Structure 1
Amino acid sequence: MTRVQLTDAEWEFIGPYLPIGQYGPYPERLRQQFEGVIWRFKTGGQWREMPQEFGAWATVSNRFRQWRDAGVFEALLEGLIAEAAKRGEVDLSLVSIDSTTARAHHDAAGMHLDEDVLTA
């Protein structure tokens, strides 16, 4: 089993990004649940395979979806970039922009068009 445990400094940075609603989650379990999310993506294991130390797998899975839908991970990434920029540790030469690929319909393979259609 891959051990996932945040340092106190890491948690101090991450914790404020995680929303606490009126009816949960219990703040003392947030760190445990966040570590469960990290475990899931670090190991590639299934939610149901999650060790009990992170709490019930269904709860951690639901929490992940709530955080994803609330934009927590995007905000956390932006916060990390801003923190690195404050320290002068952002190297824009490493920035990459990904493009979207649009697949052609399978009928488009080998299709022959008249010259007047191509010029139009």
Structure 2
Amino acid sequence: MLNLAVLPFMPIVGAMTANLSQLIRGENTRKISVGLKTFITACAAFASVWFLLLVTAIYTGGDTNTAAGVEVLALFVAGLAVFSIFKLDRFIGERTQVWLFRLALPIMVISCLTVSLFG
């Protein structure tokens, strides 16, 4: 089982991944002007989140506790699904969303590292 203090981190990473997926696919309902550097940073975050997720699930579960690794994956998928199904991007302002695109990679790395160390 995961530590309750790190429980909200993986759904946040899942929601951010869904948000990045909408940007990369061009499925945003609003036309947000995103610069090239921001788009490249968002693409790098989207590409690296899968590696971060795999490493986090392996290190959290370890050799003996497979349930913790499965819990990490389930929480990630729950965040991804909730963001996509309920279209939560409509509650985020345009400037905030651009900054989320820019800061996605550090937020995801810090979240996964925190879950790996303290989970």
TM-score past 0.5 threshold? no
Greater radius of gyration (CA):
1
More helix by share: 2
Structure with the greater relative contact order (CA < 8 A, sep ≥ 6): 1 or 2? Answer: 2
TM-score by length of 2: 0.27
